[in-house]
Chains A and B, each alone.
Chain A
Amino acid sequence: MTAVALGNGAVWPGIAWALRRDLRLALRSKSELGVQLLFYAIVVTLFPLGVGTEPALLRALAPGILWVAALLASLLSLPRLFAADFADGTLEQIALSPHPLPALISGKIAAHWLTSGAPLTLVSPLLALQFGLSGTELGFLALGLLLGTPTLSLLGAVGAALTLGLRAGGALLALLILPLYVPILIFGAGAVEAVHSGLGAGAELSLLSAALLAAIVGAPFAAAAAVRIALD
């Protein structure tokens, strides 16, 4: 039997394999998806109950509240990105596959976004209605989340990989990742604010897009390196 030559490790099959498998697994455990979405809805709804019904105040707080809730909801779902695969030995098999590891991890991150960031983005305009945002503002909120939540999944994947196998990994993950989320929060919430004050949100949206592109290029490689360290 001759040794198999290199070259069967193409990028797209790796992404497709991980994406398909993680989406299938997510659809088999729908309750987890529901929990995250419900958490987001409840956190957002608690604020009007807590701070009172002053319309101007609620409107001013709305972008920040929705974005902070989105960060927390994203954080809630991050541990499931690698921890289960790490525990049952699948991550080992993934790392030993001939597909490039960053490609497989990109597929996992895409599946994570489709099952966490994307649903949040979809329900956000609906939840934001209770804060009295205008139609344009709702649109820019959703657009900001559409550009920002994939970056949250990408950065979060690096954190999740770095905290693999650690005790109190979940808490550590929050400490590690939330500071990295700060720029996304500032520009995301800032975009809605800018639209409200009539400045236009071009700058904020461009910065969110730039952050997304940088994360797409860098995060899968950083996460792959962290996963290999965790397996050693």
Chain B
Amino acid sequence: MLEAQDLAARRGDAELFAGLDFALEPGSALFVRGPNGSGKTTLLRILAGIAQAEAGEVRWCGRPVRPFDPQLRANVLFIGHAPALKDELTTEENLASLASLHEAGVNGDAVLEALGVWALTRQRALPARVLSQGQRRRTSLARLQLASRPLWLLDEPATALDDTGAATLGGALAAHLGGGGIAVIATHQDLPLTAGVSRSLRLE
């Protein structure tokens, strides 16, 4: 269970949000919406333990977490808007490398299967440098298939995705929530969700 209590954040002098409270039970997703610069990314980075909140606390399984908490790091999968791909490596190598950073024992077959699910099989041997924006995003999201983390934090995951890509994302999300996972998603688009409890949070 993920809880936020009285969370506040600032960027420079400007207050982004304050007094934010929510609690997410297993199987629920929180869609964070709001205009550009309203603090969606900052909120995700605070929940991921990368950034420090100005005030308030985040609790994971009832325990307050500090930034870069090892307990949180073992449970979270954060996909930011930077895709974390290396231009020199192929799609397959990028995915395998990122997946093995977070999960021990990721094997080659699982990586190929994830590439198949995200319709990247034909691009598997291409260097990431020649991929389109949408394909880069798919490669980045294919990690969702390979990690068994209870908490997903996704920053604008549907950006540059086509309809089939968005459907694949919706499917992955539904499977995650159906399995008792939690997700916090900053997004402008509506994602088709077929399982789990969906809640919405609007930042101004």
Contact = CB atoms under 8 A, between A and B. Distances in A.
B26 to A, nearest CB: 7
A89 B70 contact: no
B179 A17 contact: no
Contact of B101 (A6, A88, A93): A93
A92 B80 contact: yes
A180 interface: no
Interface string A1-37: 1111110110001000100010011001100000000
B85 A88 contact: yes
B74 A90 contact: no
A95 B97 contact: no
A93 to B, nearest CB: 5
Interface residues of B, number: 39
Contact of A92 (B50, B60, B85, B181): B50
Interface in B1-39: 26
Contact of A88 (B82, B97, B100, B148): B82
A9 B75 CA distance: 12
Contacts of A96: 48-50, 68, 73, 76, 78, 102
Contacts of B56: none
Interface in A80-133: 87-90, 92-99, 101
A54 interface: no
Contacts of B76: 96
Q: Bin chain A's interface residue count.
A: 20 to 34
B50 A95 contact: yes
B162 interface: no
A229 B84 CA distance: 19
B198 interface: no
B98 interface: yes
Interface of B: 26, 48-52, 60-61, 67-68, 70-71, 73-76, 78, 80-86, 88-89, 93, 97-98, 100-102, 104, 148-150, 179-181
Interface of A: 1-6, 8-9, 13, 17, 21, 24-25, 28-29, 87-90, 92-99, 101, 228, 231-232
